[in-house]
C-alpha cells in the first residue's frame, strides 16, 4: 500500500444526506435509545471497546432495513458500501440518531424505531408506507471525530534506543494495515518486503508521517489514523473506502538519514597498540554482518576464514573502507554503515535495498606492501662478536604465531632444533633476513609481512593466506659457512701433486670412490672443509661430476683442475 498523501474534503451538506434518507438509503447503527418507545437489542458486543459513538461523531456502518413482517426495504450490503454519516446533526432520522449513540466498533444492534422517530405519517412514497415501524440490523464499522488526532499505542520498546525517527529520515518497516473493525486491507509481511520511505516530507499520508516520528528500531506500535489524515472522502481505489479510519501495526526495522556518516563503537581496544591501520594497508579481519534489527546476513566466522582486503582503495564498500581505518591489531569494534555508504537502494544478495548494515569486526592482522621485517632483540650474551651471515649453518629454536597470538608451530614442543644454511633458500625470505647478524645465545622476535612470508596462498591447513607471522627465536649453534660460491675449501696449502695423491693406484684415472675417500679424509684431518648444512656425499659427487668433463665416470690429469684454474666451477 503506497501511503501517498491525499487532501481531505468536508462531508457533503446536510441536504444531500437528508435526500439519501428520504430515498430510503439511510442506515443506522444501534445505540442506547433515549426515547422510551425506541427499542434496542445489543446482539453482539465486542470484548474491547476503546470508544463509543457520541453525538457529533462520524460513523460508517452496515445495515439491513425491514418492516415488522420481515420485508426488506433497504440494505447497505446490497450496495456493497457502508453508510457514512455524522451522528446527532439531523442528517439521520431521529430514531437512528439516538440508536447509534454508545455503539462500539464491531457491535451489532437490532433497532425498532416507531414512526414518530422515523418517517411519521407521511412515509416515503413508494418505499416506506405512512406510520411504519422500521427495523434495522446495524453493524458499526468505524467511528471518528473531526477533532481526532493520530493515536499511537506502543506495545513493544527495545531495551536500547540510541536514536528515533526524525523528519527527513529514511525508514524501512513492516506493517499490517486494517480498518477499525479489524479487516485487513494490506500487509508488507504478505509481500515479504519492507515498506521503504522518507518520513515527514510528504511521501506518506499525513497521519503516517506523524505516527512514525519518535520510533526506535525494533519498536512496535499501533497507529490509528482518522480519514482526514489518511485518504479522506475518496478513499484509495478498491482497497480503502472513503471516510475510513486506518489502523497500522508497525514494526520498525531500519532508520537512517541521507546526511549520516558511519558510526563506530569501540568494543575492545588492546592496551598495546603500536600501530594503527592506514589507507593502503592490507587487513585480515573477522566479522559478523547484521541489519539494524539484528537480522544476520553474513559472517566470516561461518566460513572459518578471515576477510582479507586492502583498505582505503575501494576494494570494499565505502563505509567499511572508512570504518577500518585507525584500528589496532586485536581490536574489536562495531561499524554501522548507512545504505548510501553500503549497498545503496539496490542492496545485494540477501541484503535488502536501502538497508543500514552493522558489522562487528575483530582485526586479526594488517600490514603494508611496503613493510619489511621487524626485528626486536630481547637478549644478547656478553660475547656477541660472531654474527651469522649468508652461508652459515644455524641451529635454532622458535615459536611461530600469528599477530593475534594464535600459535602455528614450535620447535620447543617438538624437542628438536630447526637447522638451516643461511641464504640458501631453505626458509622464507623474511626468516632468512631475520636470522642474519645474530649471535649464539641471542633471543629475538622477528615479524614477517606476508610478501616476505607465505604470501597470499599461505600453507594449506597451517598458515592462512596473507598472514603476518611472528617468530620468537633463540639461536643455539652457528657453524661458519664457506666463502660464497664454494662448497669445499682447503684449510692450508694445496699439494702440488694433488691428482697423484687422489689417484692411489697410480693408474692415471680417478674414480668416484677414490675421489670421495680422499675428500672425506681431508675433512677428517682438518685439511679441508665441506660447506656445512648440506649432504656431504652430494657435495662430493657434484665436485667429481664437475671434474669429469667428458662424463665417462673417471677423471684424468687433463680434466683435473682447481677452482682458481677454472672460475666457472666450484668443486675445488
DSSP 8-state secondary structure symbol assigned to residue 537: H
Q: Is residue 286 domain-shared with residue 309, that is, in the same domain? A: yes
Q: Is residue 452 domain-shared with residue 392, that is, in the same domain? A: yes
| Residue 563 binned pLDDT confidence (cut-offs 50, 70, 90) | low
Could you tell me if residue 568 is inside a domain?
no
**Residue 23, pLDDT above cutoff 90:** no
- Domain boundary residue, one of 230, 256, 282: 256
Report the pLDDT averaged over residues 42-48.
96
**Residue 322, pLDDT above cutoff 90:** yes
Q: What is the CATH number of the domain that holds 348?
A: 3.10.50.40
In terms of pLDDT, which residue wins out, 526 or 217? 217
Could you tell me if residue 337 is inside a domain?
yes
Q: Is residue 84 domain-shared with residue 57, that is, in the same domain? A: yes
Q: Is residue 239 domain-shared with residue 287, that is, in the same domain? A: no
Could you tell me if residue 362 is inside a domain?
yes
* Of 64, 81, 62, nearest in space to 72 by CA: 64
Could you tell me if residue 342 is inside a domain?
yes
Q: Is residue 292 domain-shared with residue 331, that is, in the same domain? A: yes
Could you tell me if residue 28 is inside a domain?
no
Rounded distance, CA 550 to CA 565, Å?
18
Q: Are 182 and 249 in contact (CB under 8 A)?
A: no
pLDDT digits (tens, 9 = 90+) for 504-523: 888 999 999 989 999 999 89
What per-residue confidence (pLDDT) applies to 493? Answer: 87
Rounded distance, CA 58 to CA 233, Å?
12
- Domain boundary residue, one of 144, 170, 190: 144
pLDDT digits (tens, 9 = 90+) for 424-459: 999 999 999 999 999 999 999 999 999 999 999 999
Q: Please list the residues that pair with 113 across neighbouring strands.
A: 134
Q: Is residue 115 domain-shared with residue 48, that is, in the same domain? A: yes
> To the nearest whole percent, how much of the chain has pLDDT over 90?
81
Torsion angle of C-alpha atoms 229, 235, 236, 239, degrees rounded to 10:
110
Rounded distance, CA 96 to CA 140, Å?
12
Q: Give the CB-side neighbour count of residue 437, counting CA atoms within 13 A.
A: 6
**Residue 241, pLDDT above cutoff 90:** yes
Report the pLDDT averaged over residues 11-37.
39
What per-residue confidence (pLDDT) applies to 15? Answer: 29
pLDDT digits (tens, 9 = 90+) for 50-59: 999 999 999 9
**Residue 111, pLDDT above cutoff 60:** yes
DSSP 8-state secondary structure symbol assigned to residue 411: H
Q: Is residue 134 domain-shared with residue 51, that is, in the same domain? A: yes
| Residue 17 binned pLDDT confidence (cut-offs 50, 70, 90) | very low
What per-residue confidence (pLDDT) applies to 7? Answer: 38
Report the pLDDT averaged over residues 22-44.
58
- Domain boundary residue, one of 83, 118, 144: 144
Q: Are 167 and 259 in contact (CB under 8 A)?
A: no
Q: Is residue 466 domain-shared with residue 549, that is, in the same domain? A: no
**Residue 535, pLDDT above cutoff 50:** yes
Could you tell me if residue 518 is inside a domain?
yes
Report the pLDDT averaged over residues 119-142.
96
**Residue 256, pLDDT above cutoff 90:** yes
Report the pLDDT averaged over residues 283-293.
96
pLDDT digits (tens, 9 = 90+) for 5-14: 433 333 333 3
Q: Are 144 and 227 in contact (CB under 8 A)?
A: yes
pLDDT digits (tens, 9 = 90+) for 471-505: 999 999 999 999 888 889 888 888 888 888 888 88
Rounded distance, CA 29 to CA 107, Å?
9
Q: Is residue 130 domain-shared with residue 197, that is, in the same domain? A: no
Q: Is residue 423 domain-shared with residue 469, that is, in the same domain? A: yes
Could you tell me if residue 465 is inside a domain?
yes
**Residue 360, pLDDT above cutoff 90:** yes
Rounded distance, CA 46 to CA 53, Å?
14
* Strand ranges in 269-404 using DSSP code E only, listed in sequence order: 282-291, 296-299, 307-310, 332-337, 357-367, 374-379, 393-402
Count up the domains in the chain and report the number.
5
Q: Are 32 and 49 in contact (CB under 8 A)?
A: no
pLDDT digits (tens, 9 = 90+) for 364-375: 999 999 999 999
**Residue 359, pLDDT above cutoff 90:** yes
Q: Which domain holds residue 57?
A: 39-144
Q: Is residue 245 domain-shared with residue 301, that is, in the same domain? A: no
Report the pLDDT averaged over residues 255-262.
97
Average pLDDT, the chain: 91
Could you tell me if residue 565 is inside a domain?
no
Q: Is residue 318 domain-shared with residue 403, that is, in the same domain? A: no
Q: What is the CATH number of the domain that holds 503?
A: 1.10.238.10
Amino acid at each position: 500500500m503506497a501511503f501517498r498523501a491525499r487532501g481531505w474534503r468536508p462531508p457533503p451538506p446536510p441536504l444531500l444526506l437528508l435526500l439519501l434518507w428520504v430515498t430510503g438509503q439511510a442506515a443506522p447503527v444501534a445505540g442506547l435509545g433515549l426515547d422510551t418507545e425506541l427499542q434496542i437489542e445489543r446482539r453482539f458486543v465486542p470484548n474491547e471497546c476503546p470508544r463509543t459513538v457520541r453525538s457529533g461523531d462520524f460513523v460508517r456502518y452496515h445495515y439491513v432495513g425491514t418492516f415488522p413482517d420481515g420485508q426488506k426495504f433497504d440494505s447497505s450490503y446490497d450496495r456493497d458500501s457502508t453508510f457514512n454519516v455524522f451522528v446527532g446533526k439531523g442528517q439521520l432520522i431521529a430514531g437512528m440518531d439516538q440508536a447509534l449513540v454508545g455503539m462500539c466498533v464491531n457491535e451489532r444492534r437490532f433497532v425498532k424505531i416507531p414512526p414518530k422517530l422515523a418517517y411519521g405519517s407521511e412515509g416515503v412514497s413508494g418505499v416506506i408506507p405512512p406510520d411504519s415501524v422500521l427495523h434495522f440490523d446495524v453493524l458499526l464499522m468505524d467511528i471518528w471525530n473531526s477533532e481526532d488526532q493520530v493515536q499511537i499505542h506502543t506495545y513493544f520498546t527495545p531495551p536500547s534506543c540510541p536514536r528515533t525517527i526524525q523528519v527527513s529520515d529514511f525508514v524501512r518497516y513492516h506493517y499490517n494495515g486494517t480498518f477499525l473493525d479489524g479487516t485487513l486491507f494490506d500487509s508488507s509481511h504478505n509481500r515479504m518486503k519492507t515498506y521503504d520511505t522518507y518520513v515527514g516530507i510528504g511521501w506518506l499520508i499525513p497521519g503516517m508521517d506523524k505516527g512514525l516520528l519518535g520510533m526506535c528500531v525494533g519498536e512496535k506500535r499501533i497507529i490509528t489514523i482518522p480519514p482526514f489524515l489518511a485518504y479522506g472522502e475518496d478513499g484509495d481505489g478498491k482497497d480503502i473506502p472513503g471516510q475510513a479510519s486506518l489502523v497500522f501495526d508497525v514494526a520498525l526495522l531500519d532508520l537512517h538519514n541521507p546526511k549520516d556518516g558511519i558510526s563506530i563503537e569501540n568494543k575492545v581496544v588492546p592496551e598495546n597498540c603500536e600501530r594503527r591501520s592506514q589507507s593502503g594497508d592490507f587487513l585480515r579481519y573477522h566479522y559478523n554482518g547484521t541489519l539494524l534489527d539484528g537480522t544476520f546476513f553474513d559472517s566470516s566466522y561461518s566460513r572459518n576464514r578471515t576477510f582479507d582486503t586492502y583498505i582505503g582503495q575501494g576494494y570494499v564498500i565505502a563505509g567499511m573502507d572508512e570504518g577500518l581505518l585507525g584500528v589496532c591489531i586485536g581490536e574489536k569494534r562495531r561499524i554501522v554503515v548507512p545504505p548510501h555508504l553500503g549497498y545503496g537502494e539496490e542492496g545485494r544478495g540477501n541484503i535488502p535495498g536501502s538497508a543500514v548494515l552493522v558489522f562487528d569486526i575483530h582485526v586479526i592482522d594488517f600490514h603494508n606492501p611496503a613493510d619489511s621485517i621487524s626485528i626486536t632483540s630481547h637478549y644478547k650474551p656478553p660475547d656477541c662478536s660472531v654474527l651469522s651471515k649468508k652461508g652459515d649453518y644455524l641451529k635454532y629454536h622458535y615459536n611461530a604465531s600469528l599477530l593475534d597470538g594464535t600459535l602455528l608451530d614450535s620447535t620447543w614442543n617438538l624437542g628438536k632444533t630447526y637447522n638451516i644454511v643461511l641464504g640458501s633458500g631453505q626458509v622464507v625470505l623474511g626468516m632468512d633476513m631475520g636470522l642474519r647478524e645474530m649471535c649464539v645465545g641471542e633471543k629475538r622476535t622477528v615479524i614477517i609481512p606476508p610478501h616476505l612470508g607465505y604470501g597470499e596462498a599461505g600453507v594449506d591447513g597451517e598458515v592462512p593466506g596473507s598472514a603476518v607471522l611472528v617468530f620468537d627465536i633463540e639461536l643455539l649453534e652457528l657453524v661458519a659457512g664457506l666463502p660464497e660460491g664454494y662448497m669445499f675449501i682447503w684449510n692450508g696449502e694445496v699439494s702440488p701433486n694433488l691428482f697423484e695423491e687422489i689417484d692411489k693406484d697410480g693408474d692415471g684415472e680417478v674414480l668416484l670412490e677414490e675421489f670421495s675417500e680422499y675428500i672425506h679424509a681431508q675433512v677428517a684431518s682438518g685439511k679441508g672443509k665441506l660447506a656445512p648444512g648440506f649432504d656431504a656425499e652430494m657435495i662430493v659427487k657434484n665436485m667429481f661430476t664437475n671434474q669429469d668433463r667428458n662424463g665417462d665416470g673417471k677423471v684424468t690429469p687433463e680434466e683435473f683442475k682447481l677452482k682458481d684454474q677454472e672460475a666457472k666451477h666450484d668443486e675445488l
